[in-house]
């Protein structure tokens, strides 16, 4: 039944037989939803943290480093501001702002879209590539973001 009993007699009292000596292993779903354990280790999900004997300290990775949004907790995004390349440069998990001012201080997002300010880009889950509006030129193979 997946439960660990002190001995075979205790298992027998609930009508189960011993599968093997020693503690039972953990049965966790293979879902990647990273959490940081209270031991400072990042686990793929809360079940695996509990199996290792760690309580969940917070959602997301412990180091705060990430390659993509799925590595961060709810309401967070993987901010690659400046580098914008998750394949080669790790980002950090950042909270998506809930409220932004109407201040106009245009920035170019990592997606090549011009946002009113950095807060608005971050609220959309987007890092900032550069200050100022985006100028986008397309060549045969790539989209190049130029910021004057």
pLDDT band, very low/low/confident/very high, at 19 (cuts 50, 70, 90):
confident
C-alpha to C-alpha distance for 99 and 92, rounded to whole angstroms = 21
Q: What is the pLDDT of residue 116?
A: 97
**Token pair of 48, please?**
């695996």
pLDDT tens readout for residues 82-125: 778 766 677 888 889 899 888 999 999 999 999 999 999 999 99
Residues 6+ apart with CB under 8 A from 23: 4
Q: Quick one: which H or E segment has residue 144?
A: strand 143-146
Query: Considering the entire predicted model, what is its pTM?
Result: 0.52
pLDDT band, very low/low/confident/very high, at 140 (cuts 50, 70, 90):
very low
pLDDT band, very low/low/confident/very high, at 139 (cuts 50, 70, 90):
very low
Report which of residues 12 and 32 the model is more confident about.
Answer: 12
CATH number of 65-146: 3.30.60.30
Residues of the chain with CATH 3.30.60.30: 65-146
Q: What is the DSSP string of 67-116?
A: SSGGGS-TTEEEE-TTT--TTTS-EEEEEPPS--------EEETTS-EES
**Token pair of 65, please?**
């480093």
**Token pair of 114, please?**
């011009």
Are 49 and 35 in contact by the 8 Å Cβ rule? The answer is: yes
pLDDT tens readout for residues 45-65: 899 999 889 999 877 777 777
């Amino acid at each position: 039944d997946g439960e660990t009993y002190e001995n075979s007699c205790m298992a027998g009292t609930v009508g189960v037989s011993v599968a093997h000596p020693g503690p039972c292993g953990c049965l966790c779903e293979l879902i990647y939803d990273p959490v940081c354990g209270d031991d400072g280790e990042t686990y793929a999900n809360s079940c695996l943290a509990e199996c290792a004997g760690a309580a969940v300290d917070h959602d997301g990775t412990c180091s705060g480093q990430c390659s993509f949004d799925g590595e961060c907790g709810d309401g967070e995004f993987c901010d690659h501001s400046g580098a914008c390349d998750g394949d080669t440069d790790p980002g950090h998990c950042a909270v998506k702002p809930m409220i932004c001012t109407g201040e106009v201080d245009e920035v170019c997002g990592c997606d090549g879209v011009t946002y009113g300010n950095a807060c608005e880009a971050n609220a959309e889950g987007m890092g900032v590539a550069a200050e100022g509006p985006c100028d986008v030129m397309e060549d045969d193979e790539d989209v190049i973001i130029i910021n004057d």
